[in-house]
Amino acid sequence: MTTGDQAAFRLLTSADSRPRAGVLRTAHGEVPTPAFMPVATQGTVKALGTDDLLALGARIVLSNTYHLNLRPGVRIIRRHGGLHGFMGWEGSLLTDSGGFQVYSLGLLRTLDDEGVTFKSHLDGSPQRLTPESALAIQEALGSDVAMALDVCPPAEAAQAELRRAVELTTAWAARCRAARARPEQLLFGIVQGGTDLALRRESAGAITGLGFDGYAIGGLSVGERKAQMYETVEAVAALLPADRPRYLMGVGSPEDLVEAVALGIDLFDCVLPTRMARNGGFYAPEGRLNIYNARFKEQTGPVEHGCECYTCRHHSAAYLHHLFQARELLAYHLATIHNLHFYLRLMERLRQSILDGTFEGLRRDFLATFKPPDEEVRRGQKQRWLALRKALSS
């Protein structure tokens, strides 16, 4: 038995093939998969308008229940007919359950069988989230896809903590499923278990046994090594039903997307392309370029030669270098457009190659060319981003 409409997901490849191509149908349109969901944490993809998202060809975005519930609050969003009306977005929307922020932002006070108590990052006020309230908030937001409330421990958590997280996640998934009141909203269950494959198997069995419209793999963007992540994704994906979409939460970098698509994943979200954009990191086939680099100061051509994004069609690398140096707001806008274009076009190319039977060649070529930034560069960019975030929120 499953919830929702069986036909919400249509697989275009054979049931036993991985990678997969499909179509996710929501109350707000069709989403060709595999798909990347830009992150609109507070009801806006940072530095972009919904007109920009449409121009980029985005079909689905993700918003964070945790943030929107605290500010502006569900009541005000409901008065706009839901989050679509509030944001002015007519495409599909997925909301997370709000649980992840509680764990990842270090706000947790207590975790009990009934739910989580935490403090608001805005004013420190005590807040409570239960499976039922997490679902009720998402129903009020009116998203097209809601996520069950899960428990997401850090990658380095002890075995006992991982086990309890899996058990609570299963119990809460059942309660979310029972509390569901809005049939047109798809509901996805989440598989937990860290990088412990036995626990993952147990979790996958329990969650798929409950029956959801789609299945997410949680807890894999929180510090584990890449090899472990891929191994876990491969093991879990093999346990999920072929006729339901598979969503790898919070992942990832371009090479992660290529590898996870190869393992049979359909949906992704990650703040990386938008966050890196505000930090001057531009994705290109050869890797992530740092626009602050002196070599861009005089480059009258685009950052990425041949790129067809708005930014590269209209502006030189030297202009972008200047805008970043001058801290002009347009810098963050133009860089975000470029990076989302890169991500969305990559997903389109992966999908087409799957349909054409040329995926392996594309994967090999991409990974041979794309050079992930080394640790030193990554740390430097993270520090610059933290400084910018601090400046903007001071």
Rounded-to-integer distance, Cα 245 and Cα 140, Å: 23
C-beta contacts of 273-276 below 8 A and 24+ residues apart: 273/38, 273/336, 273/339, 273/340, 273/342, 273/343, 274/38, 274/39, 274/45, 274/46, 274/47, 274/336, 274/339, 274/340, 275/46, 275/385, 276/339, 276/381, 276/385
**In this complex, which beta carbon is closest to a copy of itself, that of residue 201 or of residue 384?**
384
**In this complex, which beta carbon is closest to a copy of itself, that of residue 84 or of residue 288?**
84
Residues that bind a copy of itself (CB under 8 A): 42-44, 46-51, 71-72, 76, 79-80, 86-88, 297-298, 300, 310, 314-316, 318-319, 321-323, 325-330, 332-334, 391-394
User: To the nearest whole angstrom, how small is the minimum distance from the Cβ of residue 162 to a copy of itself?
Assistant: 34
User: Which run of H or of E encompasses 345?
Assistant: helix 329-356
SS3 label, residue 304: coil
**In this complex, which beta carbon is closest to a copy of itself, that of residue 50 or of residue 170?**
50
**Assign residue 264 a region: left if phi > 0, alpha if psi is -120 to 50, beta otherwise?**
left
Active-site annotation holder among 51, 96, 123, 356: 96
Length of the chain measured in residues: 394
Residue 96 is among the residues annotated as catalytic for this protein: yes
User: To the nearest whole angstrom, how small is the minimum distance from the Cβ of residue 89 to a copy of itself?
Assistant: 10
- Supply 50's token pair: 């919904």
Residue 269 is among the residues annotated as catalytic for this protein: yes
Active-site annotation holder among 112, 144, 269, 374: 269
**In this complex, which beta carbon is closest to a copy of itself, that of residue 18 or of residue 84?**
84
User: To the nearest whole angstrom, how small is the minimum distance from the Cβ of residue 11 to a copy of itself?
Assistant: 35
User: To the nearest whole angstrom, how small is the minimum distance from the Cβ of residue 295 to a copy of itself?
Assistant: 13
Rounded-to-integer distance, Cα 252 and Cα 271, Å: 8
Point out the residues that are catalytic: 96, 269
